[in-house]
Amino acid sequence: MHTKHNFGAGPCILPQEVFQEASQAVLSWGNTGLSILEISHRTPEFEAVVEESCNLLRELMNIPEDYKVIFVQGGASMQFGMVPYNLLNENETAAYLETGVWANKAIKEAKLFGHVNIVASSKDSNYTFIPKDFVIPADAKYFHCTSNNTIYGTQMQAFPKSPVPMVCDMSSDILSREVNVADFDLIYAGAQKNIGPAGATVVIVKESILGKVDRKLTSMMDYRVHIEGGSMYNTPPVFSIYVAMLNLRWLKAQGGVKEMERRNNAKAKELYDEIDRNSLFKGTCAVEDRSHMNICFVMNNPELEKEFLKEAEAAGCVGLKGHRSVGGFRASMYNALPLESVQVLTAVMKAFEAKHA
């Protein structure tokens, strides 16, 4: 059982019932007489796991029929190169929105395969806001954005109407709020935030955008090969996909993405209200771009930060230390984190203010 309030940025917190069922499967899974860790990915039992996982994602995200859902490996970092490799010719240009470290890494990889037009960037302001009112060129091959920035605590609260195919890295906020998948042509997400444990990556792709580049594609980097292979062209991360399935079942039973969005809004309001009220703390990014997944904040007196972190840890709040690029604190509040954990943190903040204000 968890004895801590896990605010870590990833791998994610998962529901206790998912941990319990997964731990039992490690010892003996279903009627197989084997551990989930040793089961062959070619068995009908595991093929059913992959199928159910993809179907649950389709249902929870209302994914249109002309989109394919696959599990691959390599995290979002692999997708930074895999997207332009599959979609961008050397003489073509892709449009990118630069909103953080991960967007910057995606841009770096895309430049290896074609031209990149950075349509807007908040880099000069240490990524403290999401650029707006930018123009997506109609002659770009695709437009790439990052929906949520774990390091800086910013989130796209709305997506632009793109005249070209839109690609989105949703690694840290997929399934946390409702989005219209049909507005995008390719969505990718590392599993380790809201989907399941680290090791698997989800790709949701409109099949009609594939197969249009001139280069010959290696099999492992070709989306079409993974689609044809049913996510099992090579040995998949069996345990990661299995736990993702359990977590997706849990999410559906809780009321789906709409209910997750309601809960996440409540958790974010609880903490942001306290940050704005408390005389010792302040947020680090533009109010209108505040993330509901990764809340970054600092102290007006940095000398008190170590003491506050120590008191928060004494109350069971772990994973709060901010990224070195921002400093201070970062409270990551993925789907499985209960409101009660956030209330414990805000209680510590109130007590710390009473002690030091």
pLDDT, tens digit, 9 for 90 and up, residues 260-319:
999 999 999 999 999 999 999 999 999 999 999 999 999 999 999 999 999 999 999 999
- Band the pLDDT of 357: cuts 50, 70, 90: confident
Rounded to 5 degrees, φ, ψ at 312 are: -65, -40
- Quick check: is 193 catalytic? yes
- Band the pLDDT of 3: cuts 50, 70, 90: confident
SS3 33: coil
- Distance between CA 60 and CA 65 in Å, rounded? 14
Q: Name the active-site residue from 29, 68, 141, 193.
A: 193
- Residue 1: the pLDDT is 59
Lowest mean pLDDT among 2-11, 58-67, 113-122, 220-229: 2-11
Mean pLDDT of 103-117: 98
Pairing state of beta strands 317-318 and 281-283? unpaired
Is pLDDT above 90 for 203? Answer: yes
- Residue 325: the pLDDT is 87
Q: Nearest CA to 302 among 356, 237, 260, 258? A: 356
Q: Nearest CA to 203 among 46, 63, 106, 17? A: 63
**Structure token digits, residue 46:** 């595991």
- Residue 333, Ramachandran bin (φ over 0: left; ψ between -120 and 50: alpha; else beta): beta
- Cα distances (angstroms) measured from residue 80 to each of 27, 111, 143, 183, 331: 36, 10, 13, 20, 26
Where do the domains of the chain lie, and which CATH numbers do they carry?
16-254 (3.40.640.10), 256-356 (3.90.1150.10)
Mean pLDDT of 16-34: 96
Q: Name the active-site residue from 29, 68, 169, 173.
A: 169
- Distance between CA 176 and CA 200 in Å, rounded? 18
**Structure token digits, residue 43:** 């068995």
User: What are the pLDDT digits (tens) for 303-353?
Assistant: 999 999 999 999 999 999 999 989 999 999 999 999 999 999 999 999 999
The answer to whether 199 and 237 are in contact (CB under 8 A) is yes
Mean pLDDT of 3-8: 94
- Residue 349: the pLDDT is 98
- Residue 233: the pLDDT is 96
Mean pLDDT of 211-221: 97
Return mean pLDDT, the chain: 97
Is pLDDT above 80 for 2? Answer: no
- Residue 238: the pLDDT is 97
Beta bridge partners of 139: none
Mean pLDDT of 105-116: 98
User: What are the pLDDT digits (tens) for 52-102?
Assistant: 999 999 999 999 999 999 999 999 999 999 999 999 999 999 999 999 999
Number of C-beta neighbours around residue 42 at 10 A: 9
Q: Name the active-site residue from 68, 102, 141, 321.
A: 102
